């Protein structure tokens, strides 16, 4: 039986003053073996976010089947109003957890990050600078990688093929690249040439590294407007990240870029002494950076998108073409052979 009139019916939802959402799926089922240090690393991740994110940032955490200790910790953060939204689920997989965080919200920017990332001061400022300087930026990663230049970036390479604003330049922070390689358990991930040069696109004083990673990236909301993926059968990996996070960017005619400076660290699952040392250097900075959000990009012709993203990729994969491109954009012959 229902009696009376629901006072909330037909009322508009109260709008938040936040415009930047950060979604963090968390899966720590226990504190043994692989997950022995994960709880502490999660704390580093969240505390670094709280210290470096402006007050118009909306934090969404999706607990993806974690242990009781982690649940209690996250519940406490919600009660303390350090986070805005906490979703508890069983282990439904990373991408399904991310989808839960996206659905039901509408923010201009959405950062999707793993729970093992240490955020540095100015990560939002540097990210916003890229979005402002490059109106076609659809995804911006705060950790540049020289190996990402030809991963879902063929639209950039096609559009800027003969432009002087696309070129190889010296890596600003080689140690940051080495730190990432170490964090994934492969110290030889980058060759010598990768540690020395990366491909950038420039607009005035702002440069962005071509390509973006997966473990932490900020997206324009329109990337998710037309997503057709509503479920992933993989707990982790598979083709889900391509379908949900990569393809929608390029299918909207947008670019995948990274900040030139390193603004975050991937920590992995093993606690190391340098992490607490870096954490101690992070200062509280909640100031809102100046940011003029770029206008929404009109959809491109599907045929033209296919030419840039698919046909050009096939052409680029020919060794002779690829080697010519690398040298044309500034690498020496030896560097091109090693890249």
CA angle 255, 256, 261 (to 5 degrees): 120
Report the candidate in 175, 176, 146 with the shortest Cα–Cα distance to residue 263.
176
- β-strand pairing of 137-141 with 197-203: unpaired
Displacement of CA 309 from its chain's centroid (Å): 20
Q: How many CA atoms lie within 13 A of 64 on its CB side?
A: 24
Report the candidate in 214, 209, 186, 182 with the shortest Cα–Cα distance to residue 198.
209
- Residue-range domain boundaries for the chain: 20-272+296-338
Q: Where are the alpha helices (DSSP H) in the chain?
A: 38-52, 68-79, 94-102, 123-133, 154-159, 174-183, 192-196, 240-241, 247-251, 273-281, 302-306, 312-316, 319-328, 333-338
State the pTM of this model: 0.93
What's the rounded Cα separation, in Å, for the pair 148 and 152? 8
Q: Per-residue pLDDT tens, the chain, 339 aa: give them.
A: 666 665 555 555 557 788 999 999 999 999 999 999 999 999 999 999 999 999 999 999 999 999 999 999 999 999 999 999 999 999 888 888 888 888 878 899 999 999 999 999 999 999 999 999 999 999 999 999 999 999 999 999 999 999 999 999 999 999 999 999 999 999 999 999 999 999 999 999 999 999 999 899 999 998 888 777 766 665 555 556 777 788 889 999 999 999 999 999 999 999 999 999 999 999 998 888 878 887 777 777 888 899 999 999 999 989 999 999 999 999 999 999 999
Q: Which CATH architecture has domain 20-272+296-338?
A: Alpha-Beta Complex (3.90)
Phi, psi of 254 (to 5 degrees): -105, 170
Q: Write the CA distances from 127 to 6, 87, 257, 308, 330, integer angstroms.
A: 43, 27, 10, 25, 26
What's the rounded Cα separation, in Å, for the pair 20 and 11? 24
Q: Tokens 């990210």 map to which residue?
A: 127
Q: Tokens 């076609």 map to which residue?
A: 136
């Amino acid at each position: 039986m229902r009696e009376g009139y629901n006072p909330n019916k037909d009322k508009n939802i109260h709008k938040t003053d936040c415009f930047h959402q950060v979604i963090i799926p968390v899966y720590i089922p226990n504190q043994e073996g692989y997950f022995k240090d994960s709880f502490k690393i999660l704390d580093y991740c969240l505390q670094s976010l709280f210290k470096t994110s402006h007050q118009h940032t909306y934090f969404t955490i999706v607990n993806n089947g974690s242990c009781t200790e982690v649940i209690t910790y996250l519940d406490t953060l919600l009660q303390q109003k350090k986070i805005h939204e906490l979703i508890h689920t069983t282990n439904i997989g990373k991408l399904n957890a991310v989808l839960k965080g996206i659905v039901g919200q509408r923010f201009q920017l959405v950062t999707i990050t793993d729970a093992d990332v240490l955020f540095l001061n100015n990560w939002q400022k540097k990210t916003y600078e890229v979005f402002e300087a490059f109106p076609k930026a659809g995804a911006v990663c705060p950790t540049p990688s020289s190996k990402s230049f030809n991963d879902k970036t063929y639209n950039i390479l096609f559009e800027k093929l003969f432009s002087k604003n696309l070129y190889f330049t010296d890596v600003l922070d080689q140690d940051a690249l080495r730190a990432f390689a170490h964090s994934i358990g492969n110290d030889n991930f980058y060759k010598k040439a990768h540690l020395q040069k990366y491909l950038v696109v420039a607009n005035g004083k702002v440069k962005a590294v071509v390509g973006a990673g997966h473990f932490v990236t900020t997206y324009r909301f329109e990337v998710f407007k037309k997503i057709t993926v509503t479920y992933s059968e993989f707990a982790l990996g598979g083709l889900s990240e391509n379908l949900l996070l990569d393809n929608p960017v390029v299918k909207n005619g947008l670019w995948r870029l990274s900040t030139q400076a390193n603004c975050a660290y991937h920590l992995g699952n093993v606690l190391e002494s340098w992490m607490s040392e870096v954490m101690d250097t992070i200062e509280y900075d909640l100031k809102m950076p100046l940011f003029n959000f770029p206008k929404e990009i009109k959809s491109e012709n599907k045929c033209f998108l296919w030419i840039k993203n698919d046909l050009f990729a096939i052409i680029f994969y020919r060794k002779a073409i690829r080697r010519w491109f690398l040298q044309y954009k500034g690498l020496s012959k030896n560097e091109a052979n090693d890249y």
